Chains A and B, each alone.
Chain A
Amino acid sequence: MKEPSLKDTSLGMMLVLSSTAIIVGAVLAGFFQLVSAKIEANRLEEERRAIFAVIEGIECDECYEVITKDIEVDGKVKPFRIFRGHDMEGNTVGYSFIAEGPGFSAKIRMMVGLNVVPDTLSGLRVVEQIETPGLGDKITKEKFYSQFKGLSVKPEIEYVKNRKPEKANQIQAVTGATISSRAVVNAINKNIKVVLKALEEEEFKQSQIEEKF
Chain B
Amino acid sequence: MAKRTITEEFKKGLWAENAVLRLLLGMCPALAVTNSAINGLVMGLASTFVVVCSSTMVSTIRRLVPRQVRIPTYIVIIAGFVTLADLFLKAQFPAISKALGPYVPLIVVNCMIMSRAEFFASKHPLKPSMADALGTGLGFTGVLVVLGSIREILGFGSIFDIVIMTEEAFTPWVIMILPPGAFLSLGLMIGIINHFTELRKKRSGI
A residues contacting B by CB (< 8 A) are: 7-8, 12-13, 16-17, 20-21, 24-25, 27-28, 31-32, 35, 38-39, 42, 46, 128, 130, 132-135, 176
Say what secondary structure dominates the interface of chain B: helix
The answer to whether B77 touches A20 (Cβ under 8 A) is: yes
- State the Cβ distance, A133 to closest chain B Cβ, in Å: 5
The answer to whether B90 touches A39 (Cβ under 8 A) is: yes
User: Which residues 65-108 of B sit at the A interface, judged by CB distance below 8 A?
Assistant: 65-69, 72-73, 76-77, 79-80, 83-84, 87-88, 90-92, 94, 98, 101-102
Q: Within 8 Å of chain A (Cβ to Cβ): is B16? A: no
The answer to whether A134 touches B177 (Cβ under 8 A) is: yes
The answer to whether B174 touches A135 (Cβ under 8 A) is: yes
Q: Indicate whether A17 sits within 8 Å of B101 (C-beta atoms), given known contacts A7-B64, A35-B91, A39-B90.
A: no
B residues contacting A by CB (< 8 A) are: 35-36, 64-69, 72-73, 76-77, 79-80, 83-84, 87-88, 90-92, 94, 98, 101-102, 155-156, 174, 177-178
Supply 9 A–B pairs (Cβ within 8 Å), ascending by A: A17-B73, A21-B76, A28-B84, A31-B87, A32-B87, A38-B91, A42-B91, A42-B94, A134-B156
A24 to B53, CA, bound (A): 13
Closest Cβ neighbor of A43 among chain B residues? B94
- State the Cβ distance, B168 to closest chain A Cβ, in Å: 16
A128 to B79, CA, bound (A): 25
Name which of B69, B79, B92 has the most chain A CB atoms within 10 A of its CB. Answer: B69
The answer to whether A17 touches B80 (Cβ under 8 A) is: no
Say what secondary structure dominates the interface of chain A: helix
- State the Cβ distance, A139 to closest chain B Cβ, in Å: 14
- State the Cβ distance, B182 to closest chain A Cβ, in Å: 11
A80 to B66, CA, bound (A): 53
Residues of chain B lying within 8 A (CB to CB) of residue A21 = 76
Residues of chain B lying within 8 A (CB to CB) of residue A39 = 87, 90-91, 94
Residues of chain B lying within 8 A (CB to CB) of residue A46 = 94
The answer to whether A176 touches B87 (Cβ under 8 A) is: no
A25 to B102, CA, bound (A): 21
Residues of chain A lying within 8 A (CB to CB) of residue B101 = 130
The answer to whether B91 touches A17 (Cβ under 8 A) is: no
Residues of chain B lying within 8 A (CB to CB) of residue A133 = 35-36, 177-178
A sample of 18 more A-B contacts (CB under 8 A), given A13-B66, A28-B80, A35-B87, is: A7-B64, A7-B65, A12-B66, A16-B73, A17-B73, A20-B73, A20-B76, A24-B80, A31-B84, A39-B87, A39-B94, A133-B35, A133-B177, A133-B178, A134-B35, A134-B156, A134-B177, A135-B177
The answer to whether B90 touches A42 (Cβ under 8 A) is: yes
The answer to whether A28 touches B177 (Cβ under 8 A) is: no
Residues of chain A lying within 8 A (CB to CB) of residue B84 = 27-28, 31
A163 to B174, CA, bound (A): 21
- State the Cβ distance, B119 to closest chain A Cβ, in Å: 20
Residues of chain A lying within 8 A (CB to CB) of residue B64 = 7, 16
Residues of chain A lying within 8 A (CB to CB) of residue B155 = 134
The answer to whether B66 touches A16 (Cβ under 8 A) is: yes
Our pick among A12, A20, A28, A130 for the contact of B83 (Cβ within 8 Å) is A28
Closest Cβ neighbor of A23 among chain B residues? B80
Residues of chain A lying within 8 A (CB to CB) of residue B77 = 20, 24
The answer to whether A17 touches B72 (Cβ under 8 A) is: yes
A43 to B69, CA, bound (A): 39
A11 to B11, CA, bound (A): 40
